Structure 1
């Protein structure tokens, strides 16, 4: 089974390597975009995963040919080969060639998993000592990571050189401890409580915990940008809360920015904090967002909000980029600025939101969408054509669920009304007196015992 899986993985990598386009040649940017989209559509995955697959396939077939041959023969488990690929990505061409030759000569059939990983780690460390490892200063990054389960949480991961990250953690901890001490003194002296952002300290008569203070300091403090003006967000973040959830009649989840599910209690709390709510209507059974009228080139603010509800991620198939930022409103059928009546209208039906990179691809005719009568969109990728796919319109997935639940509830209510009417008319009592309820199980029951008279006691 393991050998068959290895051979299958090798076959996939070999096929994918045929779609590889050089990543370092700026003149091949259009070919790379077409290739990534075509592979993503064919494998029914995201563009980012398709890009990684193509990179791994090129690295495996062209950069590690000897080790790849062992995979093709079934000698290397796929998990081991994935680890080899990860360790080879940052090596130079010469280092990679030597890395490939050494591993391919290992007696892989006699090496247990733990020893393989140890030896691979040791081998990789040799090249790290030669300078292949990325400098810590080059790893500085702040990345938003969603929880692997939809529990309403996320993580902001800060990566950088150890001294800088430790210094940040120490400053954050020192700030939290200083604020906590001042809060305790204020509670004892009856003076104003510092940093009581939500009034919880005054209500509970207890200082915030260090964990709460660290979080509050890093999320609620003003960031120092060195005098650089930071513009306000172009769009508000939408928290879509079903009306029954908002009323407390249901616990179906809300969605944060149209993508991330939020627990019902959290959604109600967020709604309670806002003074203005925006009502969005959907089709009562299908969940399609109902369109708003427009007759100009530039969409209205209300239309853009509607598009962000319908396209919270880039509308291009397999793309996973959010449209809260770095996205643009696009006319599917191009707007004719010289003769507006001849071009595509500025309407919800003819608009969608695309990541700016894919918007540029569409402008260069690398991507050609067409909106169909049923609201779906047919996409043609590449010139000549490399892939075609039709995508259904995004809708509120909870509306059909709620509609079905309400319909079932109404049917049960109607049934109880009919039973109540039969009971008031006396029909049920008459039916029970005359024949009783039909029970098929009684048809096969044994006859009642013969009457033997009264018992002798």
Structure 2
């Protein structure tokens, strides 16, 4: 297609996008149809068991038999089929709106899995319906990755048992164990409070990136002829694992691990971002705090962080939409940057979750086009999407509520909402969260789809 005009390319791309959208919609409908059939299979097996009227010890034989028939026909393990049959019933009966959205092609299998995983612990039908409606509103415009922390926060606010109580019980399951792998390797696995685990990962990332940066500087500047050190060809994941081992075994990253990039004993502080509702800090409410981008955390941990922080931001949000309106601090410093960091939480290109501390602050309307340096004209973009904005036909405009309206080269618009607005609760949600008759589940494993 040499010599094709830009308009012709755009038409071809637009046709491709329509075809992909139709294909995904058809695939979602087919997947939902399969789930509906598996739920129907459970109904058939239960009716067969009731008609048979045999001893309770063999009451599940009809469902086993039917699972075996389905498995044989589909060349899938009958145990896997039986698990999927059980999961199908949970989705169809407890999450009808999510199932309908999937069947209509509005959401994907990944969205469905996130909604069910987060909401399956809510036993009260009315409360679960409120959660489902709120989660689906987010799912229709966000990726499953962005939906997950929002759905977890929404579910926590509707759970009948406070997060602090559940965290206290869960914390008794802290554990570290080793699982042997092949080729002389092993996995070291730890169950820890979420804020601690993500803090550890962040500290390892900081060490590993400094090692990689130092290696790049050495290579770019040209190594000395007398430098006999072997070339470090490790990937960042390998460096991260080596730093992890050295920190645990020696208390600091050794030169052998870091290529002399990190002096022994130099402290690198882990970074986590936590939001705590003001009424929770005052003890007047039990709305859970949130580990940004991950989900709810217990109040005690959040308050401990707040008490030891050198400073903390006070965030004013819109009473209806949750949009960040303003932010201040007792000792103001880099006010606008902090406001943006709280509002954005991650790169603001649709679907991207690169955190703000690894992103650039970009003028939505460029400075050379008289774009002002103010909240409504700034947003975090990771380097990949910052480059895409300036070197492709993608365009973006920002509205006063912080929504970025991205326009693709073919003219499609994709709004990206500030993360703070995704989990904002309504009065109805709060009323149900505080209702005394809302039940909880027994903690069974969530369904998989």
**TM-score, scaled relative to structure 2:** 0.40
Larger relative contact order (Cα-Cα within 8 Å, sequence gap ≥ 6):
2
Select the structure of larger CA radius of gyration. Answer: 1
The TM-score, its normalising length taken from structure 1, stands at 0.39
